[in-house]
Amino acid sequence: MLDWFASNHRVLPWRSDPQPYHVWVSEIMLQQTQVATVIPYYERFLKQFPTVAALAGADESTLLSHWEGLGYYRRARSMHAAAKQICERHDAVFPTTFDDVINLPGIGRYTAGAILSISQGQAFPVLEGNTQRVYSRWVAMQGVLSEKPTLDLLWQLAEAMLPKQNGSAGDAATGRGPGIFNQAAMELGALICTPRSPKCDQCPVRASCCAQKLGMQETIPGKVKKIDYEDRTEFAFVIANRDQSQFLVRPIPEGERWAGLWDFPRLTTGEIENESVAATQLHDTLATPISVGDPLMSMKHAVTKYRIRLNVFRANVANGSARRWKPPAPWKFATLAELDELPMSVTGRKIAKELSKSR
Euclidean distance between CA atoms 257 and 141, whole angstroms: 37
**Start-end of H helices in 192-325:** 210-214, 275-286
Contact 290, 216 (CB under 8 A): no
Contact 346, 305 (CB under 8 A): no
Euclidean distance between CA atoms 350 and 297, whole angstroms: 10
Q: Identify whether 27 is a catalytic site residue.
A: yes
Euclidean distance between CA atoms 236 and 62, whole angstroms: 25
Contact 352, 336 (CB under 8 A): yes
Euclidean distance between CA atoms 206 and 86, whole angstroms: 43
Q: Which of 178, 179, 187, 180 is nearest to 205 (CA)?
A: 187
Euclidean distance between CA atoms 332 and 249, whole angstroms: 6
**Overall residue count recorded for the chain in this entry:** 359
Sheet containing 290-303, strands listed edge to edge, beginning at the edge strand earlier in sequence: 266-267, 230-239, 306-317, 290-303
Give me the half-sphere count of Cα atoms (radius 13 Å) on the Cβ side of residue 135.
Answer: 28
From residue 287, alpha-carbon distances to 143, 207, 281, 313, 330 in Å are: 55, 70, 10, 19, 14
Which of 27, 68, 128, 187 is catalytic? The answer is: 27
The vertex-227 CA angle with 222 and 232, nearest 5°, equals: 165
Give me the half-sphere count of Cα atoms (radius 13 Å) on the Cβ side of residue 315.
Answer: 28
Residues with catalytic roles:
27
